[in-house]
């Protein structure tokens, strides 16, 4: 009986005076165990000290093991295929902004800059003016500027040639009722440049909506899209108007969203 007890004790590894674990877990615990051992802080009261691992051992309670749940699988910016989702089970949650506009599934036709938000392709006001003046001859006939401000802002002054689309229904009706064939972004692909007053909310949000719906419509052709070239104008209409002193706008005016004359 004494030999049996000695053998049983040899199979246990002491962690502290109040808890023991089987030797089978020694290798796991020796690397990075979560061990709560009482330590003294400046006031002299016990404090728990934590180290990370898959198991938890508390020194002030009977020995036991707590598995830490593994993190849920994240979507890596790519929409799952229709075979995984099922053709009748494609939801908005499967096509969220986890599919960023700057995922670079296509070669960008315009130079980009760092903007306000991650996940977007921003261009400068200078790049837009160069495009309008024909400095990109291969692209001059295949770009659109989408002004996402409200009609009274748009009518008060907008970039020459811009179209005013300011809600989801208008975006869908204009671009997706009869979308062009899916493309990976060659030189003939239509370029869409979104903006609002500051390009901080309305413009980026509507561009996200277009990308989400475009992805759903072309799920069978992944990663191709009808509109792979989507950009955001950095600084929006306000920066464009101030930078060029009203040039390239019609009429040469700027009406802010919170203009008092448009609120009762």
What is the set of active-site residues?
196
Q: 19, 253, 3, 33: which is closest to 149 by C-alpha?
A: 253
What stretches of the chain adopt beta strand conformation (E)? 12-16, 19-22, 34-40, 46-49, 56-58, 122-123, 143-147, 158-159, 163-164, 191-195, 229-233, 249-250
Mention every residue, 6+ apart, whose C-beta is less than 8 A from residue 208: 97, 101
Pairing assessment for the beta strands 158-159 and 56-58 based on DSSP bridges: unpaired
State the number of CA atoms in the 13 A half-sphere of 13 facing the CB: 12
Pairing assessment for the beta strands 163-164 and 191-195 based on DSSP bridges: unpaired
User: 140 is written with which tokens?
Assistant: 């001059």
User: 103 is written with which tokens?
Assistant: 């995922």
Residue with tokens 């005076």: 17
d(CA 79, CA 77): 7
Q: 243, 252, 227: which is closest to 160 by C-alpha?
A: 252
Residue with tokens 């811009």: 162
């Amino acid at each position: 009986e004494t030999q049996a007890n000695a053998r049983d004790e040899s199979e246990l590894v002491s962690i502290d005076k109040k808890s023991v674990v089987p030797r089978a877990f020694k290798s796991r615990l020796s690397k990075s165990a979560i061990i709560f051992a009482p330590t003294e802080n400046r006031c002299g009261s016990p404090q728990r000290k934590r180290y990370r691992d898959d198991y938890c051992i508390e020194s002030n309670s009977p020995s036991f093991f707590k598995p830490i749940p593994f993190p849920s699988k994240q979507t890596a910016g790519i929409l799952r295929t229709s075979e995984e989702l099922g053709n009748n089970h494609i939801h908005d949650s499967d096509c969220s902004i986890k599919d960023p506009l700057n995922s670079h599934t296509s070669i960008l036709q315009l130079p980009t800059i760092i903007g306000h938000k991650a996940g977007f392709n921003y261009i400068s006001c200078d790049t837009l003016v160069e495009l309008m003046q024909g400095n990109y001859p291969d692209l001059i006939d295949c770009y659109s500027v989408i002004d996402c401000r409200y009609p009274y802002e748009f009518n008060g002054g907008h970039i020459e040639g811009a179209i005013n689309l300011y809600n989801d229904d208008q975006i869908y009706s204009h671009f997706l009722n009869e979308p062009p064939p899916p493309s990976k972004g060659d030189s003939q692909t239509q370029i869409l440049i979104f903006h609002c007053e500051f390009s901080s909310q309305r413009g980026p949000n509507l561009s996200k909506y277009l990308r989400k719906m475009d992805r759903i419509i072309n799920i069978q052709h992944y990663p191709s899209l009808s509109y792979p070239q989507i950009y955001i104008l950095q600084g929006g209409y306000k920066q464009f108007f101030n930078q060029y002193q009203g040039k390239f706008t019609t009429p040469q005016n700027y009406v802010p969203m919170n203009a008092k004359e448009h609120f009762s």
